[in-house]
Structure formats: structure tokens, C-alpha cells
Structure 1
Amino acid sequence: MIDLHSHILPGIDDGATSLEMSLDMARMAVADGVHTMACTPHIYPGLYLNDAQGISRARQQLQAALDVYRIALTLVDGADVHLVPGLLEGLRAGAVPTLHGSRYVLLEPSHHVRPPHFEEAVFELVAAGYTPVITHPERLTWIEDHHEVFPRLVRQGAWLQVTAGALTGLFGKRAKYWGERLLGEGQVHLLASDAHSSGRRAPGLSQARAVAEHLLGADEARRLVLDRPQAILDDLAPSQVPALPETAPPKGWLQRLLRR
């Protein structure tokens, strides 16, 4: 499996606090079946002042440590980018990294308030040739009132990434419901761990993959954790990437979710 959202780099944001924790996280990921992980620390002006050069340097240092300890995990660059003014300019200038230098960029909306002009900002990125991968929509507190935004964003060219822990119940019933609902509606392109530590928010995709397999079948579950992530690393155009499920979820599926 390939995990394209993690905060494994030590001491660079609110993720791993030490090299030892980063190594533990890497071991957990490998034990769970992950062979490649994107290092995607936050970029948030005024709080996390990371940039492409610093992230690449930190990733190289951690990769060297993994190699010394013979931990079979390949790291690639990326960032969990907050939607702020100047983002497009930062991407064009190379200060804000995409995933492994591809056209795909992790985009984190505000958790508690729907960003003003959110759809317009996403469309601007798509028009500029990027594919925004919107992170953890199922955990946004405003999804209940604005669920219709996400299918519209997908139709205009954005991707959605659901957190593995949401499907396993780590973030509570609400996030689990929305994660499963987005999956069942055929809106989700990727699963990723969004791992922050070796404790509660540890790496791991296999349990969420099993949930997705139960809901959508083995083929689509594999696409969520391997085929589409690999396509991102290969920088394939979205039109060349395995499509989202075209069939509706099983009859009564949504009703069963709503009764939970």
C-alpha cells in the first residue's frame, strides 16, 4: 500500500516530536503493509512555516535514518497545504511542494468554517493545471450543512482523500458516517493515514482498506490505497487514472448508515 498523507517528519509541525517517534511510525507503517509514504507536514503561514526546500531536506535526513535501521519504507515529498492567499503563486514558484513533484497537491480546508470562495479557489488551482486532493472532508465540522459542495468539487476536477481512522471509528461516529457515505456515493479517490504519532494517530491503512472492501469490493479498495496513489507518484493525468465507481451503492446502504 501507499500512504500519501502523514506527519512523520520529526519536529517540523504537530506530528512526530522526535526521530525515535518517526522511526516507530515507519516501523508501524511497514508492518501494516505500507511500502511508500509521503511526508506531508502542514504549510500554514504564521504557524507552520515549512517550504519545499526544508521539507525535502528533512525527508532526506529521515530516509537516511530509515536506511541505517533497515526499515523498508520509501519516503517522498509533499505537504498538507492550507488554503490561504498566495497558494497558487507558491506552487508555481516551487516554494509549496506537490506530492512527489506531481500535479497533485494535498489541500486542507478550514476544519470549523467553510472557507469563503472555496469552490472558486479550487477551480483556480484546477485551471492552472493542478489537481487538488482535499484532505479529510469527513472530519470537517461544516460538512453536514454543505455536503453538496464535495460532489461539485469532484465534478470540477478535485479529488477527495478520506482518513483511514475515520473509517475505523477513531474519530467517532460522525466522521465514520461521513467517510462511509462519501465512499458509498463514489466520491473518494484515496485513503490515507494522516498519521501524527506512534500513539493514537499512528500509521495504518489495512483496517480501513477492509472497511472499503466490505462497502465497495476488493478492486476499488485496492485502487484507494495502491492504484491511484501510484498514479499520483507517476504523475498521470486524472483521465489516465482508475475512475471512481460508476455503480450506485447497494440498495438500502445509505438507509442503514442513517440508522446508526
Structure 2
Amino acid sequence: MYDLHCHLLPAIDDGPADLETSLEMARMAVADGITTVACTPHIYPGVYENTAYGIRAAIRAFQCELDQRGIALRLVEGADVHLAPDLIEGIQAGRIPTIAGSRYLLLEPPHHVAPPRFEETVFDLMVAGLVPVITHPERLSWIETHFDLFERLAMRGAWMQITAGALTGRFGKRVKYWSERFVGDGMCMIIATDAHHPRRRPPCLMEAREAAGALVGGEEATNQVVIRPRGIVNDVPPSDLPAAALRTCPRDQRNANGPIRASVFGRLLGRKTGV
């Protein structure tokens, strides 16, 4: 599996404070079946002033530590990027990294306040040739009043990343409900751990893969943790990757060909295709 949102690097943001904690998290990830991790520390002006150059240096150093200890984990670059007026300029200038140097960018909205012009900012990124991957919308305190905003963004081509622990109940019933809503409504393109700590926020994906499978089937769950994340790392265009699937229908509503599935685009247009 691929984990494309993970705070694994030591002493660079609010993730692990030291090397030993990072190594413990890396061993946990490997034991869980994760083979590739995007190291995505915060880039948050005024709080975490990380840059692509510093992140790459930290990844090189930590990859050496992993290799010396025989921990079979491949690291790629990235960042958990917060909104800023010069965001596109920073990406184009090389100060802000995308995931593995691809067209895909992790974009973290503010947790407690719906930002003005957020929809416009996301579209500006898309016009610039990027695919914004919006991180953990299910955990935002304002999701109840703005779910339609994320529906519009998904319909226009933005991607949503749901937190593994949200699907398994680590963040409570409210967040679990919204994570299942995103997954079941065909709006979750990838699942990632957003891990910060080996116990409080562990790097575990398998349980969430199984939880997603119960909602949308094993094939779509695999798409969320293997196929689409691998496509991101390889910079595959979104149109060449599988569309998201809808929640599996109750047995008495299935047609002869099996559960009904559709991309979010087809769902919003009222088109469903049986497979």
C-alpha cells in the first residue's frame, strides 16, 4: 500500500520529535503492509516554515537511516500545504513540493473556519495544471455547513483524501460519519494515515482499507490505497486512473450484474452504471 499523507520525518513539524520515534513509526508502517510513504510535513507560513529543499534533505537522511536498518520503506517527497497568497508562485518556483514531484498537491484547509475564496483558490491551482488533493475534509469543523462545496470541487476535478483513522472511529462518531459519507458517495479518491505518532496517530492503513471495502467493495478500497496513490507517485493523469465508486447498494437493490457503482461525476448527473 501507499501512504501519501504522513508526518514521518523527525523534528520537522508536529510529527515525531526524534529519530527513534520516526523509526518506530516506519516499522509499524511496514508491518501494516505499507511500502511507500510520502513524507508530508506542514508548510504553514508563520508556524512551520518548511521548504522543498529542507524536506528533500530530511528525506535523504531518513532514507539512509531506514536502509541501514533494513526497514523496507520507500520515501517520496511532499508537503501538507496550507493556504497562502503566494501558493502557486511557491510551487512554480520550487519552494513548495508536490507529491513525488507530480502534478498532485496536498492542500490542507483550515480546520475551524471556512476560508474565503477557497473554491476559487482550488480552481486557480487546477488552471495552473495541478490536481489539488484536499486533505481530511471529514475532520473539518465546518463540514456540516459546507458539504456541497466539496461536492462541487469533486465534480470539477479536485481530489479528496480521507484519513484512515476517521474511517475506523479514531476521531469519534461525527468524523466517522463524514468519512463514510465521502467514501460512500464516491468522493474519496485516496485514503492516507496522516500519521503523527506511533500511538496517538499511528501509520496504519489496513483497517481503513477493510472499512472502505465494506462500504464500496474490495476493488475500490484497493484503488484508494494502491492504484490511485501509485498513479500519483508516477504522475499519471487523473483521467487515466479509476473513477471513484459509490457505496454498494443493499442486496435487494442490486441488478443482475452486481452492485451499482458510478463516479461522482456520473452520480451528480444522475447516471449510474452497473458492473
Q: TM-score, normalised by structure 2?
A: 0.90
- The answer to whether residue 143 in structure 2 is matched with residue 143 in structure 1 is yes
Say which SS state the counterpart of residue 6 (structure 2) adopts: coil
| Cα distance between partner residues in 2 of 1:105 and 1:249 | 32
5+ residue gaps in structure 1? Answer: 254-260
Runs of 4+ in structure 1 off by over 2 angstroms are 246-253
Deviation of 1:195 (Å): 0.3
Q: Which runs of 5+ in 2 are unaligned?
A: 254-275
Q: CA RMSD in A?
A: 1.4
Return the alpha-carbon distance in structure 2 between the equivalents of residues 161 and 43 of structure 1.
18
CA contact (8 A) 1:4 1:192 kept: yes
Counterpart of 1:181 in structure 2: which amino acid?
A: R
Classify 1:172/1:90 alpha carbon distance in 2 versus 1 (closer, same or farther; 3 Å).
same
Structure 1 residue 173: Cα displacement: 0.4
C-alpha change, 1:252 and 1:13, in structure 2 (3 Å) is farther
Q: Which residue of 1 aligns with 2:46?
A: 46
Change (3 A) 1:155 1:248: farther
Q: Cα gap change, 1:20/1:124 in structure 2, threshold over 3 Å: closer, same or farther? A: same
Q: Which residue of 1 aligns with 2:32?
A: 32
Shift of 1:30: 0.3
AA aligned to 1:134 is I
Aligned residue pairs: how many? Answer: 253
* RCO comparison, higher one (Cα < 8 Å, 6+): 1
Distance in 2 separating the partners of 1:51 and 1:124: 21
Which structure is larger by alpha-carbon Rg, 1 or 2? 2
- Seen in structure 2, the aligned counterparts of structure 1 residues 46 and 127 have a Cα distance that, compared at 3 Å, is same
Contact 1:184–1:249 under 8 Å retained in 2: no
One-letter identity of the residue aligned with 2:22:
S
Partner of 1:79: 79
CA separation in 2, counterparts of 1:246 and 1:141? Answer: 25
Alignment-mate amino acid for residue 63 of structure 1? Q
TM-score normalized by the length of structure 1: 0.95
Q: How far does the alpha carbon of each residue in 1:78-102 deviate from its partner, in whole angstroms, 9 at most, with x for none? A: 0000011100000111100000000
- Aligned partner of 2:195 in structure 1 is 195
Q: Supply the AA of the counterpart residue of 1:209.
A: R
1:124-143 correspondence to structure 2 within 5 Å: 124-143=124-143
Question: Which amino acid is the alignment partner of residue 31 of structure 1?
Answer: A
Measured in 1, the distance between the counterparts of 2:104 and 2:199 equals 29
Once residues 190 and 117 of structure 1 are traced to their aligned partners in structure 2, the CA distance between those partners, rounded to angstroms, is 25
Kindly provide the amino acid, as one letter, of the partner of residue 208 in structure 1: A
Which residue pairs with 2:256 in the alignment?
none
Residue number in structure 2 paired with 1:257: none
- Corresponding residue for residue 230 of structure 2: 230
SS of the residue 1:5 aligns to: strand
Question: What is the match of residue 92 of structure 1?
Answer: 92
Give 1:244 deviation, angstroms.
1.2
3-state SS of paired residue (1:148): helix
CA distance in 1, matches of 2:185, 2:156: 16
Given that 2:5 and 2:40 are in contact with CA atoms closer than 8 Å, whether structure 1 keeps it comes out as yes
Question: How do 1:49-64 and structure 2 match up within 5 A?
Answer: 49-64=49-64
